[in-house]
Amino acid sequence: MVSRISTPFAVVPVAPTERSARLRDGESFEGRVTRHLGRSSVRISANGSHIDLTIDPLLPVGARVSLTVLRGPDGLHYRIDAAADEVPGSSSPAASTQAAVQSSSQATATTDTTIARLAAVQGGLAQLFASLSAVQAGGGAQLPQTVQAAIADLLGLRLAGDGQPGGEALRQAILGAGFLGDPATLQTLGAVSLRSALSSLRAALAEFSGASAPPEGEAPDLPSVSRHPRGQAPANLSHGVYQALAGGNAASLLSHLLGQTDGALARLALSALASSGRLGDGAEAARNGFDVTVEVPLALGPETAVIPLQIGRDETEGGGENGEHAAWRLRFALDFPETGAVEALVGLDVNRLFVTLWVERADTLADLRRDLDALTATLSDTGLLVEDVRIVQGRPSDPPVRSGLLVDTRS
C-alpha cells in the first residue's frame, strides 16, 4: 500500500500505512487507541496493524486496551478491556466495554436501508440557504419570530467569502460543519454546530407547520471519502418557495422550509455515514479514501455556495512524539459563477506542501497559470516548503459506485 500523502504525479517518500488486523474467534489484540473516526468509533493500533470499532463510551486517544474476539448467538463481538483511568466516567479497578458487531449481511442490509431512506429526502445545503436568504431579505415574510431568529442564527454560521477568510474562521467553520469534536469541545473552541443550528430551525418550523413539503429539484451526489467532491454553486429559489413568497402564503412557506431543513439534516447524516466508512466507498476508500467529509457553507454576498471538504491524516510511523507521521491531506471543490468548477488536493508532510488544482473553464485555467508564481510565493511566505504546485485542466475521474446502494429493501 502506498502512502496516503501523494499528488497525482508523485508519491511523497514516507513509510507504508498500517495494515488491517485480521482476528479469529478467541484471539486477542493488545494496542492503543490511535484515532477517533467519529462520535463513537475508534481505531486501535499495535505493531503495524489496526482495527476500527464502534464503542460506547468513547475511549480517549492514547488509551491502552486489550481486545478479545468472542462469538455469541447473534454473531461476533469484540470485548475491549481498559484500565479504569482509560474509560471516561469509570471508577472501578478494571472496566470493560462491549463492542457488538452484527453479522456482515445484517449490518449491510440495515445500513443500505438507512442510506436509501436518507438519500430519498436529502437536499443540498445551497438550496436551503437560498430560501433562508430570500426570507430574510423579505423582512421575515411574516413568519413567527422564533423561526426568524433560527434563520438568522443559521445564516450567521456561513463562512464569509469576501476577501480571504482567516485560518481561525476556517477552522471553526470546518469544526462546526462536521463531526470532528463533541459539543463541549466545540463550545470551548467557539465553534457552533451546523447540525445543532439546523435542528433548532427544524424545531421552530415544526411548531407552526403540520407537514414538510417533499423535496424539489435534483439532489447533489452522495457525500464520499473516496469520490472526488463537487462544489455546490449558489442555488436558485425552488418553485414552491418562490410561489409561497410571491403569494404571501406563510403556511406553504413554512412547509417548504421544513422539507428543505429535513433534507439538509439528511445530508449531514449521510456525511456522517460516509465519514464512518458506511456509504459504499468500498475498497477504494480503504486504499485512497480520506477520513472525514464535511460541507462548509460560504457566503457570497446574498448568495451561498457550499464547499465540500475531505480531510485525511497519514498514520504511518515517523518522528512525531508518539511515533506518528505528521502528514495530512485535504481535498475540496468550489463552483462559483465567476470561476466555474475547481478542485484542489493539498498534501502537507510536516512543512512540505504539495498542491494540485483541477480547473474546468479555460479562462479560469489561464488566470491561475498566469498567477502561479504569485500563488507559490504567497504559500512560501507562510513558512511552508512548497514542493509542487500543479494546475490541470478538466476534472479527475471517480471510482465506480457500489451497485444497489440506494435500493430500499423494505418495499
- Which pLDDT tens digit goes with each residue over 175-208? 777 655 555 555 555 556 888 899 999 999 999 9
387 is written with which cell numbers?
A: 514542493
Query: What mean pLDDT do residues 400-411 have?
Result: 46
* Three-state SS at 11: strand
Q: pLDDT tens digits for 338-364?
A: 999 999 999 988 888 999 999 999 999
Share above pLDDT 90 across residues of the chain, in percent, rounded to a whole number: 34
Q: pLDDT tens digits for 303-338?
A: 999 999 998 876 555 544 554 556 888 999 999 989
pLDDT of residue 86: 42
Query: What mean pLDDT do residues 290-298 have?
Result: 89
Q: Catalogue the E-assigned strands of 234-288.
A: none
- Among 19-28, 124-133, 219-228, 312-321, which range has the highest average pLDDT? 124-133
Q: Which of 276, 333, 331, 268 is nearest to 306 (CA)?
A: 333
Query: What mean pLDDT do residues 112-126 have?
Result: 84
CA distances from 61 to 42, 65, 338 (A): 8, 11, 43
User: Which helix (DSSP H) or strand (DSSP E) does residue 135 occupy?
Assistant: helix 125-137
Between residues 219 and 137, the one the model is more confident about? 137
Query: What mean pLDDT do residues 394-405 have?
Result: 63
User: Is the per-residue pLDDT at 391 higher than 70?
Assistant: yes
pLDDT of residue 140: 81
User: Is the per-residue pLDDT at 110 higher than 60?
Assistant: no
193 is written with which cell numbers?
A: 454546530
Q: What is the mean pLDDT of the chain?
A: 75
Q: Which of 51, 66, 50, 61 is nearest to 316 (CA)?
A: 50
125 is written with which cell numbers?
A: 445545503
Q: Which of 113, 262, 274 is nearest to 178 (CA)?
A: 274
User: Is 386:353 a contact under the CB 8 Å cutoff?
Assistant: yes
Q: How confident is the model at residue 155 (pLDDT cuts 50, 70, 90)?
A: very high
374 is written with which cell numbers?
A: 504569485
Nearest-angstrom CA–CA distance, 79 and 70: 7
Q: Write the single-letter amino acid at 185.
A: T
Nearest-angstrom CA–CA distance, 153 and 80: 41
* Three-state SS at 285: helix
Q: What is the largest CA-CA distance in the chain?
A: 68
Pairing of strands 340-349, 352-359: antiparallel
What does the angle CA 59 – CA 60 – CA 64 come to, to the nearest 5 degrees? Answer: 75
The DSSP-derived string for 167-206 is HHHHHHHHHHHSSSS-HHHHHHHT---HHHHHHHHHHHHH
Lowest-confidence range among 34-48, 189-203, 390-404?
Answer: 34-48
Between residues 67 and 268, the one the model is more confident about? 268
